[in-house]
Amino acid sequence: MRPEYFQLISRIEAVDTAAGTARARAVVPEESTIFEGHFPGHPLMPGVLLIESMAQTSGFAILGMNGFEGMPFLAGVREAKLRRFVTPGNELDVEARVEHDGSGFAMTEASIRHEGSAVASAKLTFRVMPFPSPDFRTEMRSYAERLGFPLEVA
């Protein structure tokens, strides 16, 4: 995880294109400039970044289903719940399931757990559009592969 660069997934652990699911691991770094202001002396992972980690995991579920033919862009967040604090060093299990995919939109349900306990959950909406350029698509596939995305399923 590199929160300063909005790279909030450490590795992709599983993608099931038939089920429309993805599972990822996010390891919160021990040190990050994010924690200098959130909060001094009591570092906590910002809730908005937890939502973004669910969005990124959801995005990989969508990319798996569409074979990297359409790029999912986060368009909406509903029913977001932040249940416990996340601190430096925490290892998070992030799961996402595609509930709807069609007409240029996808909707997912996502959750985060730490040591088996619920941390966060949300219903997310994505606008799925053609990649803005072939180079961007290539970079996304390369990034996914570095994270462990099984490209053979896409």
Q: Which residues fall within 8 angstroms of residue 126, CB to CB, at 6 or more apart? A: 55, 58, 59, 62, 72, 73, 74, 75, 105, 106, 107, 108
Asked if 75 and 110 count as a contact pair (C-beta separation under 8 A), the reply is no
- E-strand ranges in 37-116 read 71-82, 91-102, 105-114
Given the residues 38, 42, 100, 114, select the one marked as catalytic.
38
CA atoms of 12 and 149, how far apart (whole Å): 6
- Whether 114 sits among the annotated catalytic residues: the reply is no
**What positions carry a catalytic annotation?**
38
